[in-house]
Structure formats: C-alpha cells, structure tokens
C-alpha cells in the first residue's frame, strides 16, 4: 500500500534536488565521458612519465617528489591555520 498525503516520507534536501534535476542529453553525457577519459589518459601519461624519470634518474626524481609533498604539506598546514 502506498502512503498518501501527509503519510509520505519526507525527502532530504539532497534527494529532493536529485529528484528534481533535469535529465542530461546524450550530447552532455558524451561530453562528460570524453572529458573524464581525457583526464584519465592525462593522469596515466603523468604516471608513466614519473615512472620513466624514476627509472632513469631515481634520486633527483625522489627528491622532487619529496619536495612536492613538502610544499603540499606546508600549504595544508597554512590553510588549516587560516580557517
């Protein structure tokens, strides 16, 4: 038996927004899929490049990765301190 009127369960804001959003066209879905595929291919290319650099120049590559990690960590700490 289906609930009627006031007996219906209330939808949360996320579910209400999800239920009310318009369906995407095939073109929009294709664009999103193409963009996701390009991002995945780009990340794969970066990963292969880093691995090749590590095989050829292990210590400088490791040093650069540790440096990038350190910069990211300092930015994270600074951001936490500001908020």
Mean pLDDT by 10 residues, the chain (83 residues): 59 72 85 97 97 96 97 96 88
Question: For position 6, what pLDDT does the model report?
Answer: 59
Identify the domain containing residue 36 by its residue range.
25-82
Torsion region of 5: left, alpha or beta (phi above 0 gives left; psi -120 to 50 gives alpha): left
Question: For position 14, what pLDDT does the model report?
Answer: 72
How many structural domains comprise the chain? 1
Residue 49 resides in a domain: yes
Residue 75 resides in a domain: yes
Residue 14 resides in a domain: no
**pTM of structure:** 0.59
Question: For position 30, what pLDDT does the model report?
Answer: 93
Residue 44 resides in a domain: yes
Distances (CA, A) of 26 to 6, 29, 32: 37, 5, 10
Residue 69 resides in a domain: yes
Residue 1 resides in a domain: no
Contact (CB, 8 A) for 24 and 30: no
Residue 4 resides in a domain: no
Tokens at residue 7, please? Answer: 């007996």
Residue 55 resides in a domain: yes
């Amino acid at each position: 038996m289906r609930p009627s009127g006031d007996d219906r369960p209330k939808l949360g804001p996320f579910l209400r927004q999800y239920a009310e959003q318009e369906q995407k066209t095939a073109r929009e879905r294709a664009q999103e899929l193409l963009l996701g595929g390009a991002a995945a291919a780009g990340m794969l290319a970066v990963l292969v490049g880093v691995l090749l650099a590590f095989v050829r120049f292990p210590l400088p590559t490791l040093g650069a990765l540790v440096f990038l990690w350190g910069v990211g960590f300092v930015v994270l700490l600074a951001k936490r301190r500001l908020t």
